[in-house]
Amino acid sequence: WPAAAGPRLLAVVNLKPVKNHALLLQAFSKVQSVQSARLLILGEGPLRTELEEIARSLGIMDRIAMPGFRADPAPYYSVADLFVMSSDFEGFGNVIVEAMSYGLPIVSTDCPSGPSEILDNGRYGNLVPVGDQVALAEGMENALGQQHDKTPLILRSQDFSPPKAARAYLRLITGDA
């Protein structure tokens, strides 16, 4: 994490256009104008240089870290204060489930498909419109300003465990709903 004080925001993702990290950096700069925070983006991809340039131009480079891909992101999830996803589109959103398994509050774009289903239409996290940097910043600020009970998030993440998902698929296939 960057050495500066403040809440720790985490994003775990491939650095590619569909993940819209430019939006995340813009929203984070708005959060920075209100409250001191730190952002760590775990992942690697073709947009690294472009995202670093955006962070420098926004004046937030000293508040972010981009250490690259980590095979085991658990140490980062375990000390983060908030998980943020800024995608324009997702296949499922495994990282949301991972973050929930650590009891992390979530702010995510309400992109097709995955976040709304995983977060049960906002019951387990904050959903904001895709591409809306003001809403994403407000979602992060609101989440950072609230106390969160980790237990419901951890329990919800278990709904997506392989054994539970396999049983659900079997019920669907066999018609035993």
- Tens digits of per-residue pLDDT, 13-62? 999 999 999 999 999 999 998 889 999 999 999 999 999 999 999 999 99
Using pLDDT thresholds of 50, 70 and 90, give the confidence band for residue 175. confident
pTM: 0.92
Instruction: Report pLDDT for 166.
Output: 86
Q: Which residues pair with 127 in a beta bridge?
A: 108
Evaluate if residue 65 carries a pLDDT over 90.
yes
Evaluate if residue 164 carries a pLDDT over 90.
no
153: CB partners within 8 A, 6+ apart: 100, 103, 104, 105, 106, 124, 125
